[in-house]
Amino acid sequence: MTPPSPDAATDTDIARSVDGTGDPDAKPNSDSNGGAPAEAQESGGESAGTVIVAGLANLAIAIAKLIGGLISHSSAMLSEAAHSVADTVTEVFLFVALKRGEKPPDEKHPFGYGRETYFWAFIASLATFLVGAGFSFYQGITTIIEREQQGDPMISYIVLAVSFVLEGISFLKAVRQVRGAARKWGVSPTGYLSRTTDTTVKAVTFEDAAALVGLVLAALGLFLEEMTGDPLWDGAAAIAIGLLLLVVAFVLARANKSLLIGQSASPRIEQELKAEIAAMEHVDGVPLLLTSVIGPGKILVAAKVDFDDTSTVADIERVADEVEKRLVARHEGVRYVFLDPTAGDGRARAEAHRPDGNA
């Protein structure tokens, strides 16, 4: 399965799409489908594989860092161990998110469980904050206050080097997935990461990048303490690692919060959907169109449609059926389409009209 394309892309972020249209939401060489929307593609197995590789790597690294930290009495190493533990817990939550989000619709959840993916991903970001950042701050402050001298740092350097290799393997797998998706949809990798609705790929990529930076910070703290004999540098490195984790947790939590609440599709996609409905026979206009991302690669579309005055009930039913078929066929992300015939008097609104006439 292919990963989802970005949710939106600004003119400064996008490159020409593969099919030469310049539309980052267009599917390569797929003029017949009108261009797949950004939220269309599901990553499925590829994202699960990325999460599993990252989780196993983080578990092995956490054990190695813990041993190295206990031997060398380095707060930076112990902070890195907590960092890897937090990442391992995060991967577990992300795996749960992928599996729970794939559950089919039922009577209680008619639109499926796609948004549950974002709930578990949000919990994962909290784990990074509480376990990783919290412990790192504690270790750093304690070391700076107590100034306990570290033991032989050689074991720590070896663990850091091995960890860097393992984290690098996981990071490269995530980067390959991101670059492949970005190239497919004609956007930059950073544009893809900032707008994709596949938060599992975003989380793994950010966390692996943070892990590599954290390893460098830990090594720098160890080296400076060894050179100066002052444990202050080791504690400062631990605090820097905590700040790094805090930033990552905030970025991921913010992204998942938006999707969990109910984020709309990109303005570009909404314009395309609106134009396609407006171009249908018997349609005078589309005064209002709303979209909502209901899961990775899944969009709900609701629109108020102004039909011409000559339209019969049969005409409206036929056009509504054709609109649904066309949007689903041309935009793979569209899962549900709801149309509401409305007067073209400029009074169309998202809120329901109450029986008493109040808003």
Tallying the residues shown for the chain, one arrives at 359
Distance CA 136, CA 130 (A): 10
265 near 271, Cβ under 8 Å? no
Helix (H) or strand (E) holding 293: strand 283-295
Measured over the CA atoms of residue 308, residue 309, residue 314 and residue 320, the dihedral's sign is positive
Read off the pLDDT of residues 78-105 as tens digits, 9 standing for 90 and up: 888 887 888 888 788 888 887 888 888 8
Read off the pLDDT of residues 338-353 as tens digits, 9 standing for 90 and up: 999 988 766 777 776 6
Which one, of 278, 284, 281, lies nearest residue 343 by Cα? 284
177 contact partners, CB below 8 Å, separation of at least 6: 3, 43, 46, 47, 50, 201
Query: What are the distances in angstroms from CA 256 to CA 117, 210, 335?
Result: 9, 18, 21
5 near 192, Cβ under 8 Å? yes
- pTM assigned to the model: 0.69
Read off the pLDDT of residues 278-293 as tens digits, 9 standing for 90 and up: 999 999 999 999 999 9
Read off the pLDDT of residues 63-79 as tens digits, 9 standing for 90 and up: 888 888 888 778 888 88
94 contact partners, CB below 8 Å, separation of at least 6: 51, 120, 121, 124, 200, 203, 204
Residue 213 CB-density burial (10 A; 0-12 exposed, 13-18 middle, 19+ buried): middle
